[in-house]
Structure 1
């Protein structure tokens, strides 16, 4: 079965400090799997839709682990290239209080060498959505160029383009990021996801609803603006709605935004209205926060609906 959604980007093996101490003092780590667009692909599959991933991984234990992870969760790996000359990227993290500490090891990793030629080999027949992020574009110049080819080819084949800004200041300057973001939003993106910090990167004044409506004027059909504990806004050309974050016992917030985006895309595929889409996405994101790591807490559709309905959420 051809995937409904193809997601492009950078997978990262993740190591979390077990004792939640600073990384300079951490003794033991739990390993898990990360990478924003990989999280989205996994989230979509867990919510009952078909997804696939576009990337390069190293011919190493982490690359093999990702392939096993994707396949075991129903994510199509037809467009995953194994690079025998590069390693799979990784990061180390600690969740201290309400803040995260990160150290990345991604320079020259396999995913950063994904090229325009690689992008030309992707089959978009039957694909309804291509999802990518600012991280996918910031890790290397050739990934940025490849992303443009992927978006153009996806659009030519009738697919909708989903773009999550996901700004990372250590990867590129806010000025360059803003220029690329606005170009993608105005030329390609149908669905745009961002958070309130990225609203500042874009230089958009006003409250989240004002910002979402401003971005709609640039061309997208849907804009989702996440505001952390304050909730989120979803705006379309018909209306905008806002909702508060759901209350849960938080173990870790990494990946919550990715689950929100995965949920939003599933709701788009199901032609849900703005209110239902927002409540579903906020609920799925909240459930992700109940476990450490960006994928461990990702819920099924039944779990989200149980949570919304006030019923016990079973594993």
Structure 2
């Protein structure tokens, strides 16, 4: 299956060369510490944001990618714009004159445990609107990628996400929805009320196994099930709603894909973990880039796992994401260790 091109809204002629992937959300400045923040020390400034991470990952893998969002009229916003442009991501951004760019502090406690402290309330990024998203969609896209983070930012951002999902689905543009639940932004009940209806527009739903109930709640009267059964039940519900692929991220345990044709499991690639932040976004970028290449589900799953392995093996949200010519490196290394 290949990702389709937009047919365009009434009265609008779509771009004959639409961008491969379009996404939107909040990009922030991340100030990262190698240890406890309370101890002080050097902080490294980087760009953070699930949507921009995926856009960078897809661009590095050889496809056009665009990000829409808002930044503040401050050095942090300028830094984000420079970094994304430097990675080849096309921008549909707005500079808000009165609100600041969001900032997060990230302390790494162990290789697989980090803590984030957000300063994003009322940020420029939370002001993304329906009109801004409409303008980006007018250019066409082969895939629209959304996350469950953006609708939690503000009522305006939620409206933009709902509009984009409905419009893209109506125009034949595959919608990818990564649940990406953030408990610091909203409760599970609040997320479920928004993301459940949103999933009905998605061709691809991506989630960890503990997020599936946010988009496919149990049928009334059903009893709690074992995790594997609960996953299968949730995937079946989503497939019945019209979702084509339910992709389950399991971190070090690999990933799985549920489709109408069946269920496919794949193990993770054994690497030495250095920093797990951004691994899920790397997986998503790998999976969607393979979809843009017209690859089948097993190949998409394999590329997602490869990209995730690169991400956990290097520091930063996206800095270690692979380029297309590097994808074979881990496979080659894996093969040499097995001989």
TM-score (norm 1): 0.92
Between the aligned partners of 2:151 and 2:106, the Cα distance in structure 1 is 22
Displacement of 1:154 in angstroms is 2.3
What is aligned with 2:193? 179
CA-CA distance at 1:134 after TM superposition: 0.6
Once the two structures are superposed, residues 155-195 of structure 1 have per-residue CA deviations (whole angstroms, 9 ceiling, x without a partner) of 34331111111001111110111121110112x11111101
Question: Residues 123 and 25 (structure 1 numbering): CA distance in 2 closer, same or farther, change over 3 Å?
Answer: same
Q: Can you list the C-alpha shifts for 1:207-243, whole angstroms capped at 9, x where unaligned?
A: 1445433322222111110111111101222222111
CA contact under 8 A between 1:235 and 1:274: conserved in structure 2? no
Q: State the shift of 1:200 in Å.
A: 5.0
Match of 2:128 in 1: 114
Is the contact made by 2:285 and 2:307 (CA closer than 8 Å) also made in structure 1? no
Alignment counterpart, residue 225 of structure 1, candidates 248, 255, 271: 248
Partner of 1:268: 291
Alpha-carbon separation, structure 2, partners of 1:200 and 1:17: 33
- Cα deviation for residue 59 of structure 1 reads 1.3
SS in 1 for 2:316: coil
Structure 2 SS opposite 1:248: coil
Residue in structure 2 matched with residue 216 of structure 1 by the alignment: 239
Match of residue 246 from structure 1 = 269
**Aligned partner (choices 141, 148, 167) of residue 153 of structure 1:** 167
* CA distance in structure 2 between the partners assigned to 1:227 and 1:275 by the alignment: 16
Structure 2 distance, partners of 1:199, 1:285, is 20
Question: 5+ unaligned residues in a row in structure 1: which ranges?
Answer: none
Residue 36 of structure 1 pairs with residue 55 of structure 2: no
Q: Secondary structure at the match of 1:251?
A: coil
Please point out which of 163, 173, 184 is paired with 2:177: 163
Which residue, out of 71, 78, 101, partners 1:64? 78
Tell me if the contact between 1:124 and 1:157 (Cα under 8 Å) persists in the aligned partners. Answer: no
Does residue 259 (structure 1) correspond to residue 282 (structure 2)? The answer is: yes
Which stretch shows the higher mean deviation, 208-217 or 99-108?
A: 208-217
> Whole-Å Cα distance in 1 between the matches of residues 291 and 138 of structure 2?
18
- Which structure's CA Rg is the greater one? 2
Provide the C-alpha distance between the structure 2 equivalents of 1:288 and 1:262, rounded to a whole number of angstroms: 11
Aligned residue in 1 for 2:157 = 143
Query: Over aligned residues, Cα RMSD in angstroms?
Result: 1.8
Stretches of structure 2 lacking an aligned partner (at least 5 in a row)? 1-16, 219-224
Q: Which residue of structure 2 lines up, in the alignment, with residue 101 of structure 1? A: 115
1:199 aligned residue (212, 215, 232)? 212
Give the C-alpha shift of residue 99 in structure 1.
1.6
Residues 232/311 of structure 1: CA separation in 2 closer, same or farther (3 Å cut): closer
Point out which structure has higher relative CO (alpha carbons under 8 A, 6+ apart).
Answer: 2
1:126 to 137, 140, 153: 140
